[in-house]
Amino acid sequence: MNIWQKYVIPHSIEEAIHFLTSAPGPARPIGGGTDLLLEIQQGHHPPVHTLVDVTRIPDLLRLEEVGAHLFIGAAVPVRVITESPLVRYHATAVAEACGLIGGPQVRNTATLGGNVAHALPAADGMISLFAFDTQVEIANDGGRRLQPIHTLFKGPGQSALDLSSEIIVGFYLPLRQSGQSSAFSRVMRPQGVALPILNMAVWMERDDRVIHDIHIAIGPSGPVPFRATRVEHELIGHPPDSISLQRAKEAIHQSIQFRSSAMRAGAAYRHHLSEVLLEEVIGKAWQRAFELEAV
């Protein structure tokens, strides 16, 4: 009946992996616990014997530039991410998304590692990372490896990681170059579960008058998150004018099958909102790309 039998706080990755793999019962990494503890408590997660707290491992708490990348440690509280000038500059969409998770108290403990590992198709932080060519650093007893973010998902709420022996160390996002920018937005419903009806993140490279390159991620758009490449395709090489936006919207309707979910929204509503959000995030990113120096 207890939510856990053992709660351990390792101070290194190796120690954490050791705790995970040597526990006498089921073990899981835990970040802020804002998803995991409630799920166990409410019986939506099989019982866990050992919780391995990853929030005091120095490597997972780093938030810094590493070569050509911005590194965001998996256990950095999302409040710190939101407020970080580095993230606000290099990955504005991630800062925006993290600022929308929960309230201030939740943001003080929730982590991006948990948001991604939890694998919900509309998690705000996760969708924002999707818009970047994010590489995820993962550790297990075989060592560390990098994997592109889109390889981390098996199904709604199901991570492709083996959470009984692996942990996410952090996320590598390319540093922002001149002409590049990003944006995130979502629409909520005031009733019911605290997940967005729809959210959207965009990363863009602007070439004076046209969109040179663009990444778009929309949640929830399927059992696992994916990039809306057909929509991106309609925009690359064009200015974000009403003609190309219209083509992009049509590409959304053709390539994405939004679902109706009983308590959140019907598919038709989601399709409509996707148009509204698309205009909003592209508009914001387009402006920001221009204001690079000013940010």
Partner 1 sequence: MSDPNLITLTVNGRTYQLPEVPGEMLADLLRYRLKLTGTKVACGEAECGACTVILNGEPVLSCSFPAAKADGADILTIEGLSDLHKTPTADGQLIPLHPLQQSFIEYGAVQCGFCIPGQIMTSYALLERNPDPSEEDIKYALKDTLCRCAGYPSIIGAIKAAAFTLKTGQPLPHPPIDPSNHAGRVVGRIQPRPDAIAKVTGKAIYTDDIQFENMLHARVKRAGVPSGILRKLNIEKARKLPGVVAVLTAKDIPGEKNHGLVIPDWPIMVGIDEQIRTVGDALAIVAAETRQIASKALDLIEVEIEPLPVIDHPVKAIQDDAIRIHKNGNLLKHIKVRKGDVEEGFAQADVVLEHTYHTPMHDHAFMEPECSIARLTPEGRMEIYVGSQIPYSDRNQVARALGVPEEQVRIIGQLIGGGFGGKEDIAGQIHAALLARATGRPVKLLFDRQESLIVHPKRHATQIRVKVGAKKDGTLTAVETELFGDTGAYASLGEKVLTRATTHSSGPYEIPNVKADCYAMYTNNPPAGAFRGFGVMQSAFAIESMMDTLAEVLHMDPVELRKKNALKVGSITNTGQVLRESVGLMECIERVEAEMNRLSGGNPFIPKPVEGAPHRLRAWGFAVGYKNTGLGGGAPDKAGAEVELRRDGTFQVRSSSAELGQGLPTVLQLIAAEELNQNPRQIDVLLMDTDLTPDGGPTTASRQTFVTGNAVRHAARALRQLLTSELAERYDVPPQEIRFIEGLAQVNGKQVSLSHLAEQMLESGRQPLASYTYWAPATRPLGQGGDMHFAFSFAAQAAEVEVNTLTGEVNVLRLIIANDVGTAINPLGLRGQIEGGAIMGIGHALTENFIVEQGRVITDRLARYRMPSITLTPEIIPIVVEHPVTEGPFGAKGVGEIVLIPTIPAITNAIYHAVGVRFDRIPVDQEKILLTLKERSGNY
Ligand X SMILES: Cc1cc2nc3c(=O)[nH]c(=O)nc-3n(C[C@H](O)[C@H](O)[C@H](O)COP(=O)(O)OP(=O)(O)OC[C@H]3O[C@@H](n4cnc5c(N)ncnc54)[C@H](O)[C@@H]3O)c2cc1C
Cβ closest to partner 1, residue 51 vs residue 173: 51
- Binding segment toward ligand X, per CB under 6 A, in 102-110, 175-183, 208-216, 225-233: 102-110
Does position 3 bind partner 1 by CB under 8 A?
yes
Segment near partner 1 (CB under 8 A); pick from 51-59, 135-143, 221-229, 240-248 = 51-59
Assess 103 for contact with partner 1 (CB under 8 A).
yes
Is 225 near ligand X (CB under 6 A)? no
Q: Which of 22, 46, 85, 191 binds partner 1 (CB under 8 A)?
A: 191
185 binding ligand X? (CB under 6 A): no
**Binding of ligand X by 54 (CB under 6 A):** yes
289 binds ligand X (CB under 6 A): no
Q: Which stretch binds ligand X (CB under 6 A): 96-104, 176-184, 220-228, 263-271?
A: 96-104
β-strand pairing of 50-53 with 27-30: parallel
At 222, phi and psi to the nearest 5? 170, 180
Binding flag, residue 264, ligand X (CB under 6 A) = no
According to CB under 6 A, which one of 20, 72, 87, 123 is a site residue for ligand X? 123
Q: How far is the CB of 196 from partner 1 (least distance, A)?
A: 12
Per CB under 6 A, 194 contacts ligand X: yes
Closest Cα to residue 201, out of 114, 152, 134, 251?
Answer: 134
Instruction: Copy the structure tokens of residue 226.
Output: 């994916």
Nearest of 230, 273, 236 to residue 251 by alpha carbon: 230
Query: 3-state SS string over the chain?
Result: CCCCCEEECCCCHHHHHHHHHHCCCCEEEECCCCCHHHHHHCCCCCCCCEEEECCCCHHHHCEEEECCEEEEECCCEHHHHHHCHHHHHHCHHHHHHHHHCCCHHHHCCCEHHHHHHCCCCCCHHHHHHHCCCCEEEEEECCEEEEEEHHHHEEECCEECCCCCCCEEEEEEEECCCCCEEEEEEEECCCCCCCCCCEEEEEEEEEECCEEEEEEEEEECCCCCCCECHHHHHHHCCCCCCHHHHHHHHHHHHHHCCCCCECCCECHHHHHHHHHHHHHHHHHHHHHHHHCHHHC
Least distance from ligand X to the Cβ atom of residue 226, Å: 17
193 binds, among partner 1, ligand X, none (CB under 5 to 8 A by kind): partner 1
CB of 36 to ligand X, least distance (A): 3
**Residues 40, 163, 235, 252: which binds ligand X (CB under 6 A)?**
163
With CB under 5 to 8 Å by kind, the binding choice for 217 among partner 1, ligand X, none is none
Nearer to ligand X, 35 or 234 (CB): 35
Which of ligand X, partner 1, none has residue 104 at its interface (CB below 5 to 8 Å by kind)? partner 1
- Binding residues (CB under 6 A) for ligand X: these are 28-36, 54, 74-75, 78, 100-102, 106, 110-111, 113-115, 117-118, 123-125, 163, 167-168, 194
